[in-house]
Structure 1
């Protein structure tokens, strides 16, 4: 990670010098940062596909959530429970199959439990986001069988600082009428490094093209707003490290507080709070059998309260989580270098209130892993294995008279994940990357023990305490060509699950007591293991060229996922359709303009319990300018989103919310970021 940070800062400095019009000879050499996620050996070439969002690209794409920020990246879509609660979906997999990390540490929130639970990581204070597409269970455990999203910041400084540096950002406008600000400050004396940051964000109900909301099959009055979608969030962090050129050891504490509305329930507000303490250290260039050691420890206290219109707290979800992780990179043995590590997690979850559909649970996971890499005639070969033990305990009914969750219960799982990857550069401009993996994931507490009405989905959900571990095999292959200022990458993948835990409708209903005392029939959904297959294609191309004083970049991106429940013969739910993105960037001096057309095809491959989602095309425009501001480097930007004001819906949204929450309408957003 120190290498990544130092190169990132050199890139930022080079951009600042260029924006001031200094001659080329005075500019700092730009170096591409090393990808961190899924790359403990810090290799230049990775077999697994990774996307990186940082610098100006991250500034211009920041949304109010990780899902919104990353939606449209190769192979990445987003759940959409309105503008506030959405989570990244990678190649059609979501929930507990996509691991959300902060600086490679667990988030410990409830976002994988329910679509209305937001991820407590705000993009305003993130310096870099890395997305690993495909199984990463080897390094991060069973919750990463679909991929990893790693939000990176410098809250624990990782390299020496000798002078104050910082940044501030303001954003105004957008379909949600965002008013936000963030600032960070870092300083040090060459040994001790200090970090502080703070942010605040407030939004109004989302503005959308005129549409007819549909609730419980009944049409509501036409509207240009998504009801109950306003929000406000704030937070900050303090961190400190003792640093040397080859090591650091530090700690950080951060806080996140958010209030946001639930579009499916017009009078419900969610209050979410998270407090997190992190310790982390790294020691490099060690002598003897070890080259480097990295360790981290995190403790999270998370609470999510659903506040009714009367002001009463209806349901409270809380999590207390602890994670410890250590990695040791050994010296090369006969041309083979590698890393071995261990990871421990414990999560205590509780749900209290009328809408609690999961009992109190404790989940413990312990894993050890080994990854080795070597060069051979056909490229760079890597192989690894992870052994993991998981235990999921249910506290049962707090009051035995309720007879909702039954007696206390416990399940244990012994899991194994293996992977084999290779990167072959068979010509100066050509390379072929392949990955083969076998993964196992333990069922979550709600997949095992849920039993009740889940208000967010409008269904009665039942877990199955006899579920076995989810098992899948994955193949990923990508061919890449890069020459000069042009590149093309085409990848294909297939994931086959012999046991895929799916939440499916039974066709039956369950009578529950409504607030007025009457009986209400609620559709029944059950977690069950099925055979499943997900396969798809991801293609990207870029071409840069100059014309006079202008520099242009043409880009194109295509991704497609087909996902099937092989046991029932129906498509898996909430899969993004085929998507095409075309872009044009133009740069002259300090000015940069961009135009981007995002097209999503009609998604008609849906289960019998869903309906097709119409296709749409969205045109987004942006203009930015770099300039000097009082000795600092500044970036001002304006974005016009959905310029044609097209009415669009997200196919990854659950059906009960899709007709209540279209995607944002035409909007203008202004922003300013200043760095010194």
Structure 2
């Protein structure tokens, strides 16, 4: 397949991977005292048991944080980690239904350390908010603000990542039907919110238009992280909204002695949808192999007022990875393919009365290496290379090809994890580089372009007795070169553009006492306009618009401020935050109110850069009412305005809230939830208001542990009373309301 001026070449990819491997192994040879000497190897053996009963606990994940090495406990609770570098490490343990623990241990060269880990049972906050303050491991670079894993992920699992993490404080979803849904954080989405898979960019076009889907399948996700503040700048400068990082573990890094994995089945009634997927990892001689696959199929979504036509979806996804895991770290590679066909509902203004059908294919190749280095101030060194080929076609109901896109992307990353130095801890130095070859065809006049970007960043934490300071500094450069220079009567002079600037963030945390913490964040971000914002020109039927770029757009800079307060007493917590984002040259497609002379059924949307101001507040809490009963909830509000026009910023979510009451005993839990939103009458020009709503849901979960397997059952009834309601960020709300009553069941087995 040819996209733009480049062709996907397996030989080319193998060559690039070889370069990355050589670059990663080079420090082992050149750096003094590397932690790869055979004499430095140590072994860790242990068993995990339940507190109070001493019963063995299988299927627990054991992580050596500093080495990023992990293993899963066997049915009898035992585990073994071999070929480990000697020295102090932190041993972390994770298991559904139990508290996470962290234990410091000292590994001695040539010795075997035996340990017993005792896990207490934990109350799982069903339907509430879980704010994580500790590192999670499993390849994570920085700590998340919100974590979806285990029971919480199983309960919330939807068709898309956006649907899965919806209803958390500050999180909404932008939709044009269920398939292309994309998250919105604190009113910010698109290119101001990074979507990552295994900490790497996906190479899709979901950030550029509301009809483009995210190429990540949630059913095989291990966990989903939401990252904000200084940690977000580790991944990009355009992270004022934050980062959503979905972990699947394409490239395996676990040490295995037997086959392990999981399989899932999901079904729901509102669209006669079903999905299935599996993930397996196994020792293959001196290597570790990992494989996953999934399939999802759903028909038109049913609402209380009838079916929303042309909202079916069919998605296939699969990957295979292979790694060499040793005491010095690991080196591996993976390949994956994501294919999807889905529908966009009819245009409420009549642009395409039968809807548009989209087909996309994303092929992804990845090489990743990690070295445990005990020299020149580093504790770990990582290098990775990712090659993505994305192809996307949009068909009218007659079968006529309206538009097509092709994108070839390459991403190079080098990260150095610094040793702790007194009060300075968890430091990271990094370099990132990327290229993007963009091509389009069909009815569009958008020129083919080639982009190059490079960035360097530094992240650090300063720890004091009652004070913690997170900070990051980053510099980015980006160039966008169209295939040809020309003057467009609507877009302007199409010519090469370059952008560069720095970003920084500081976040102090003050522990007042054992219960109360206060803190804040000051953040300056930089975002370069995209090719689509600069040079797009032509009808985009699936987006209900005739898009016109602006070749004279400048870079976007923002200052973000946040103040927060946390209170935590055992299983109870309350968190409150207020924030403001002041964005200079906020770039967005403005509805001109005029219709295109090329397509008289489509309104012209012209990209502009204006001064925008956003303010908001968030509240989340969890309160135990008795040994088995608890309540939890959240609320969030965003206010946005175009400062120079004194007009509301378009497509801002209203006040939203969710409260639940849950009962849990052992591994069984049941909860009922109420989610609500207020009227949204602060709307942009040509934008219609929406009414508020109150919706009721029910959730039931049960986990059964047998001698050889772990079984997880999650059942939900959403919109119990089949209420008619409309979400403000749903572009098709004028056609049909949100889905009606939905019964959803998820079964997952761990082996």
TM-score, normalization: structure 2? 0.80
Partner of residue 12, structure 1: 95
Partner of residue 660, structure 1: 735
- Residue of structure 2 aligned with 1:290, choices 362, 368, 378: 378
The question of whether the paired residues in 2 share the 8 Å contact of 1:162 and 1:189 is answered with no
2:578 is equivalent to residue 492 of structure 1: yes
Partner of residue 394, structure 1: 482
**Secondary structure of the structure 2 residue equivalent to 1:114:** coil
Q: Distance in 1 between matches of 2:645 and 2:320?
A: 51
The question of whether the paired residues in 2 share the 8 Å contact of 1:160 and 1:191 is answered with no
Q: Distance in 1 between matches of 2:418 and 2:500?
A: 27
**Secondary structure of the structure 2 residue equivalent to 1:456:** helix
2:632 is equivalent to residue 632 of structure 1: no
- Residue of structure 2 aligned with 1:57, choices 144, 148, 152: 152
Partner of residue 341, structure 1: 430
Q: Distance in 2 between matches of 1:540 and 1:401?
A: 52
Partner of residue 508, structure 2: 422
Partner of residue 217, structure 1: none
Partner of residue 363, structure 2: 275
Partner of residue 552, structure 2: 466
Deviation at 1:342, TM superposition (A): 0.5
Greater mean deviation of Cα atoms: 190-199 or 115-124: 190-199
- Residue of structure 2 aligned with 1:612, choices 680, 683, 689: 689
User: CA 1:80 to 1:275, structure 2 compared with 1: closer, same or farther past 3 Å?
Assistant: same
CA deviation map 1:275-297 (0-9, x unaligned) = 11111122236234212112221
Greater mean deviation of Cα atoms: 412-421 or 332-341: 332-341
User: CA 1:190 to 1:245, structure 2 compared with 1: closer, same or farther past 3 Å?
Assistant: farther
2:166 is equivalent to residue 166 of structure 1: no
Count of residue pairs brought into register by the alignment: 636
User: CA 1:252 to 1:579, structure 2 compared with 1: closer, same or farther past 3 Å?
Assistant: same
Greater mean deviation of Cα atoms: 402-411 or 187-196: 402-411
Q: Distance in 2 between matches of 1:74 and 1:38?
A: 25
User: CA 1:442 to 1:544, structure 2 compared with 1: closer, same or farther past 3 Å?
Assistant: same
Aligned pairs for 1:248-647 within 5 A: 248-264=330-346, 265=352, 266-284=354-372, 286-333=374-421, 335-337=423-425, 338-354=427-443, 356=444, 358-376=446-464, 379-396=467-484, 409-512=495-598, 514=599, 520=600, 522-547=602-627, 551-628=628-705, 631-647=708-724
User: CA 1:404 to 1:606, structure 2 compared with 1: closer, same or farther past 3 Å?
Assistant: closer
Deviation at 1:272, TM superposition (A): 1.0
User: CA 1:291 to 1:505, structure 2 compared with 1: closer, same or farther past 3 Å?
Assistant: same
- Residue of structure 1 aligned with 2:219, choices 124, 128, 136: 124
TM-score, normalization: structure 1? 0.88
2:273 is equivalent to residue 196 of structure 1: no
The question of whether the paired residues in 1 share the 8 Å contact of 2:524 and 2:559 is answered with yes
User: CA 1:658 to 1:2, structure 2 compared with 1: closer, same or farther past 3 Å?
Assistant: farther
Q: Distance in 2 between matches of 1:282 and 1:239?
A: 15
The question of whether the paired residues in 2 share the 8 Å contact of 1:367 and 1:387 is answered with yes
User: CA 1:2 to 1:71, structure 2 compared with 1: closer, same or farther past 3 Å?
Assistant: farther
Aligned pairs for 1:141-152 within 5 A: 141-152=236-247
Q: Distance in 2 between matches of 1:377 and 1:359?
A: 56
Q: Distance in 2 between matches of 1:187 and 1:648?
A: 47
The question of whether the paired residues in 1 share the 8 Å contact of 2:651 and 2:684 is answered with no
2:306 is equivalent to residue 205 of structure 1: no
User: CA 1:526 to 1:131, structure 2 compared with 1: closer, same or farther past 3 Å?
Assistant: same
CA deviation map 1:302-321 (0-9, x unaligned) = 11111333434332111111
Partner of residue 214, structure 1: none
Q: Distance in 2 between matches of 1:146 and 1:439?
A: 10
Q: Distance in 2 between matches of 1:179 and 1:310?
A: 28
**Secondary structure of the structure 1 residue equivalent to 2:175:** coil
CA deviation map 1:537-568 (0-9, x unaligned) = 11111012444xxx122101011111111121
Q: Distance in 2 between matches of 1:137 and 1:501?
A: 21
Q: Distance in 2 between matches of 1:228 and 1:113?
A: 22
The question of whether the paired residues in 1 share the 8 Å contact of 2:230 and 2:472 is answered with no
- Structure 2 stretches lacking a partner, 5+ long: 1-62, 74-92, 100-115, 123-131, 347-351
**Secondary structure of the structure 1 residue equivalent to 2:255:** coil
Q: Distance in 2 between matches of 1:199 and 1:564?
A: 42
Q: Distance in 2 between matches of 1:476 and 1:407?
A: 39
The question of whether the paired residues in 2 share the 8 Å contact of 1:346 and 1:362 is answered with yes
Q: Distance in 2 between matches of 1:376 and 1:385?
A: 21
**Secondary structure of the structure 1 residue equivalent to 2:238:** helix
CA deviation map 1:188-245 (0-9, x unaligned) = 26952211111111101001111xxxxxxxxxxxxx1000011111111111111135
User: CA 1:468 to 1:246, structure 2 compared with 1: closer, same or farther past 3 Å?
Assistant: same
The question of whether the paired residues in 2 share the 8 Å contact of 1:81 and 1:661 is answered with no
CA deviation map 1:144-190 (0-9, x unaligned) = 23211100112212221111111111112231111111111111269
CA deviation map 1:106-154 (0-9, x unaligned) = 1111111211111010101101000124576632223323211100112
**Secondary structure of the structure 1 residue equivalent to 2:512:** strand
Partner of residue 238, structure 1: 320
- Structure 1 stretches lacking a partner, 5+ long: 17-24, 211-223, 515-519
Deviation at 1:526, TM superposition (A): 1.8
Q: Distance in 1 between matches of 2:376 and 2:645?
A: 56
CA deviation map 1:39-68 (0-9, x unaligned) = 74x5xxx6xx71110101111211111111
**Secondary structure of the structure 1 residue equivalent to 2:431:** strand
Q: Distance in 2 between matches of 1:307 and 1:510?
A: 20
Greater mean deviation of Cα atoms: 64-73 or 335-344: 335-344
CA deviation map 1:605-649 (0-9, x unaligned) = 101311111111111112222224673111123211100111111
